[in-house]
A and B are shown apart, each in its own frame.
Chain A
Amino acid sequence: MATTLPPPKPEVFRDPEKSGNGSTGNGGWRNLVPAEGSLRGVEEYSPPPSSSAIWVGIAAICMSFAAFTSALIVRQGSSNDWRHITLPPILFLSTAVLLASSASLEVARRRVAAYMGGLGRSVESARLWLLLTFGLGLLFVAGQYMAWLQLRSQGLYLATNPNSSFFYVFTAIHALHVLGGLAGLGRVIRKLGQGTLRRSTLNATSYYWHFMGVLWVYLFVLLWMRI
C-alpha cells in the first residue's frame, strides 16, 4: 500500500530573532527550524524537541558498558579460572547483519530528509528501507539467540565459567538495548505511516541505532580478545 502524506501545511514558527532580545540562550528554539526545508511530516504544532537527549542517553549506556568492561578486566585478573572459549561463528554473521541494518537505516533517513525537503514525492521507499532495518534488527537478535544456543550445546552456561558469564551478560544486555532500538524503529515506522514523523525523532532513533552497531563491534572485539 502506497503511503502518501497529506500536502504540507504552512508552518508558523515563532522567530526568536524578532522577539526583541538579542541574547543567545535559546537552545530550545533552534530545533523549531528544520535543517532543510519545512517539516512536511508534522501535522500539528508540538513543542521543540530535545536534540541533546539522545546523546545523554548514549552517554549513560557508555558508562554502563564501561563498568561492565572494567568488571571483566578486573575479574579476569583476579584469579586463574579464566578459560578461553571459542566464540560462536554466527556472531560474525550477526555483526554483518547489524552493520547492514545501520546502512539501510541511513538510506531511509536520507530519503525521509529528501521528502521533507521537498525533493521526494513519496516516503514509500523510505518506509521499505525502515522495514528492512527493522527486519535486520530482529535478525540480529535472533542471531544472538542462536549464539547462546550454540554455546549451550557446548555445555557452556551462564555460570559455567567467568568467560561464559561475561559473554551471556554482555550479549544479553546489548540485545535488550537493541530491542529498545527496535521499539524506537517501530514508532518511527508508525509515525511515518501516520504522517506525524518529526525529523528529530528519526534522527534520534538513527543515532541510537548506529550507536548500537558501534557498541556491538566494540563488545565483539572485546569478547574476541578477552574471552
Chain B
Amino acid sequence: MHEVSAAPAAHHGPPTTFIRKHVFSTDHKVIGIQYYHLALVAVVVGMVLSWLMRIHLGWTNAAIPGLQTLSPNGAPGGVMTPEYYLQLMTMHATIMVFFVLTTAPFAAFGNYFLPIQTGAEDMPFPHFNMMSFWVTLTAFLVLITAFFVSDGPPLAGWTSYAPLSAIGKAAGPGQGAGQVIWATALGIFCVGQLLGALNFISTVLDMRCKGMTLSRLPVSAWAWFITSCMGLTAFAVLMPACILLILDHVAGTSFFIPSGLVINDQLIPHSGGSTLLWQHLFWFFGHPEVYIAIVPGMGIVTHVLITNMRRPMVSMKAILYSMWALAFLSYMVYGHHMFVSGMNPFSSLAFSFPTLMITIPSTVVVLIWIGSLYGSKLRINTASLFALGFISMFVSGGVSGFFLAQPSIDIMLHATYFVVGHFHMVMGVAAMFGIFSGTYFWFPKMYGRMMNETLGKIHFWLTFVGTYCIFMPFHYLGWAGNVRRYAAFTDDYLKPLIPLHQFITVAALFTGAVQLIFIYNFIHSRVAGPQAPANPWEGTSLEWIMPSPPPWNNFGGKDPVVYHDAEQYGVKTASGADYIMQNSPEQALGGAEGD
C-alpha cells in the first residue's frame, strides 16, 4: 500500500457526543446508514400495505383483522372499501418509489461509498448532506401523517393525475388534506434530494484524490454520479409541479383544473387549467425517476460482478456510455406514459421512437454482463446471486417494455396488470435485487461484520422464486384485460381471474415472509456476525483499503493515491494475488493495465 503522508485534512473533527455521532452527524457514512435504515423502515411499511391490497384482491369480502382500527372509515368491519384500497395503493407506491427505490440504492449506498471510492474524506458540504437526510426523513414523516387526517391518505395514485388530484375533497376521501400532505411531502423530498445531488456531483468533480481520474472511478461511483445528474434535473421539475398543485388546492388557482368540471354533481369553481400540464411536468420527472431507481443498481451489480468474476467486464466503457445514454434518453421518452392521455397522436410517435431507442443501451449493458459472465469462474455468494437475479429481473421486466413502447399495443395494454408487471419487475424488483446485492456485498464494510452466507442464499432463492410467482402472472392478467387500480373483480368478466389473484396474494405473503430471513440475518450479523476483514471479497476499489468499518475520517488523515482503475482483476502479480488495488503502485506482470 502506498500513500502520501499529509497533514490531516479534516472536514470536521471526530464526533464527540452520541448526538453528533449517530443522530445529527455530518459523516457521510453515518448519513448513508441513516438513509439505509430509513429505506428499511419504508420498505416494511410499503410491503405491509401491498399485503393488505393483495389480500383484498384475492379475498375481497374478507375482514382483515386490525384494519378497522387503522381506518374505521376506510375499512368498516375490517373490510376494505374501494376508496381505501386506492389510498393504500397510493401510499404503497409513493413510499416504495421515493423512500425505498430512490433512497436505498442511491442515497444510502451512494452516501456511504461515493466519497470513499473517490478518495475523499467526506463530501464537500457535510452540513448540506446532513440536512439532506433530515429533510428526507421529514418528508417521510409528513407523508405518513396522511394516515392520520380525517379522510386518510390520497387516492390519486403515486402519479396523482390532475384534475382529481387538484380539486380537493370533491374527488373523494383523501383528496383534500391528504393530497396536500402528499404534495408537500414530495416537495420536501425534492429539497432533500437536490441537496444530495449537489453533494454527489461536487464530490465527483472536485474531491477526487490524487490519481483518481474520471476513467479510474469505479463503475458504482459512475452510476451514482450519473444518477445524481438525473436527480438534479428531475427533482428540480417535480418541485415546481408540487408547488402548483398545492396552490390549486389551497389558494384557488387553476393551473391544472379545467373549466366546467363537474364532480359528484358538484361544479368545480375553477377555470382554464390544463390537466395535461400536470402529466407533462410529472412524467418529465417520473421517467428519469425510473432510471434514478435502476442505474445505481446497474452500477452496484457491475461492481459486484467484476469482483466475483475476477476479471473485467468485456467493455466497461460501453457500460458507462450506455448508462449515460439511459440518463439522457430518459428525458426524451416520458411521453410514452401519456399515449392515451389525449395528446396529439403524432406526439405518441415522437415519444415512441426514443422509447424504442432506449432499449439499445439497456440491451448493450445486459449483453456485456452476459458476455462477461460467459466462461468466467464466478464466485457464487449471496451478493453475486442477487446480481444475477438483478439481470434476470431486468431482462424479464424489460422485454415487456418493447410492447408498451409502441402506441398501437400500449393502447390495449394501458392501465392493465401488464404494465404493473412490467414496472414492478424492471424497476421495483430489479432495483430491490440491486439493493440486496449491495447490502450483502458492503455489509462487512459498513458494519464490520460478515453476514451469514447460508441464510443469504436461502433468502435469495426463495425471494427469486417468490417474485417471479408474483409478477409474471401480472403479465398474463394484463393480456386477459385485467385493469389495474380496481379494488375488486367479483362482479364482472374478470371473475375467472380471481384464483390467479389468490395465487399471487399467497406468493406475495410468502415472499414478504421470506424477508424475515433477511431481517434476522441483518440484525443477527450486525450484533454477532464474525468480524469482517478489511477486504473480504478481495476487491480493488478504495473502500477495501481501510478497516471494516472505516474510521470517521475514512483514510486516517492520509490521502490515498490511485494508480489504476478498479478493474485490475485476473492479473498476475509478484505477490501471487490475482488483483491489484487501486492505490497500489504495483504493476501487473506481463501485461499492461487496462486503464
A residues with CB within 8 A of B: 12, 14, 16, 19-21, 23-29, 31, 45, 47-53, 56-57, 59-61, 63-64, 66-68, 70-71, 74-75, 78-82, 158-159, 162, 165, 169, 173
Contact = CB atoms under 8 A, between A and B. Distances in A.
Contact of A27 (B121, B207, B216, B258): B207
Interface stretch (B2-10, B37-45, B130-138): B2-10
9 contacts: A16-B210, A20-B561, A52-B201, A56-B197, A64-B240, A67-B236, A67-B240, A70-B281, A162-B255
Contacts of B121: 47
B210 A59 contact: no
Interface of B: 4, 6-7, 9-11, 120-122, 124-125, 194, 197-199, 201-203, 205-214, 216, 232-233, 236-237, 239-241, 243-244, 247, 251-255, 258-259, 271-274, 276-277, 280-281, 284, 559, 561-563
Contacts of B199: 53
Contacts of A50: 124-125, 202-203, 205-207
Contacts of A56: 197-198, 201-202, 232
A28 B272 CA distance: 51
Which A-B residue pairs are the 7 nearest by beta carbons?
A: A79-B272, A25-B213, A159-B252, A50-B124, A78-B274, A63-B236, A81-B272
Contact of A71 (B11, B239, B251, B277): B277
B252 A158 contact: yes
A63 B237 contact: yes
B232 A63 contact: yes
B586 to A, nearest CB: 13
Given A56-B198, A63-B236, A49 B124 contact: yes
A133 B351 CA distance: 47
Contact of B273 (A26, A79, A169): A79
Nearest to A64: B236
Contacts of B280: 70, 74
A56 B195 CA distance: 10
A47 B557 CA distance: 12
Contact of B281 (A51, A61, A71, A82): A71
B230 to A, nearest CB: 11
A209 B572 CA distance: 55
Contacts of A78: 258, 272-274, 276-277
Contacts of A45: 7, 9
Contacts of A67: 236-237, 240-241, 281, 284
A61 B276 CA distance: 23
Nearest to B254: A162
A202 to B, nearest CB: 17
Given A27-B205, A67-B240, A158-B247, 11 more contacts: A14-B7, A23-B212, A48-B206, A52-B202, A59-B232, A60-B197, A63-B236, A71-B244, A74-B277, A78-B272, A158-B251
A79 B211 contact: no
Given A48-B206, A75-B277, A64 B10 contact: no
A23 B216 CA distance: 10
Contacts of A158: 247, 251-253
A128 B209 CA distance: 39
A163 B260 CA distance: 19
A59 B284 CA distance: 16
Nearest to B277: A74
A60 B210 contact: no
Given A25-B211, A26-B208, A75 B251 contact: no
Contact of B210 (A26, A70, A74, A165): A26
A53 B198 contact: yes
B258 to A, nearest CB: 7
A50 B207 CA distance: 7
A25 B253 contact: no
A165 B205 contact: no
B233 A63 contact: yes
A15 to B, nearest CB: 10
Given A79-B273, A81-B259, A19 B233 contact: no
A21 B254 CA distance: 61
A52 B335 CA distance: 32
Contacts of B251: 158-159
Nearest to A65: B240
Contact of A25 (B122, B216, B284): B216
A25 B562 contact: yes
A23 B562 contact: yes
Contacts of A66: 237
Contact of B272 (A48, A49, A162): A162
A51 B214 contact: no
A29 B124 CA distance: 13
A19 B561 contact: yes
B9 A52 contact: no
A212 to B, nearest CB: 16
Contacts of B281: 67, 70-71
A197 B212 CA distance: 29
Contact of A21 (B11, B202, B240, B563): B563
Contact of B9 (A27, A47, A70, A74): A47
B244 A169 contact: yes
B272 A31 contact: no
Nearest to B207: A28
A173 B244 CA distance: 12
Contacts of B213: 23-25
Contacts of B284: 67
B274 A75 contact: yes
A188 B214 CA distance: 33
Nearest to A51: B206
A57 B198 contact: yes
Contacts of B271: 79, 81
Given A45-B9, A64-B240, A81-B271, A28 B206 contact: yes
A48 B119 CA distance: 13
Contacts of A51: 206
A74 B343 CA distance: 13
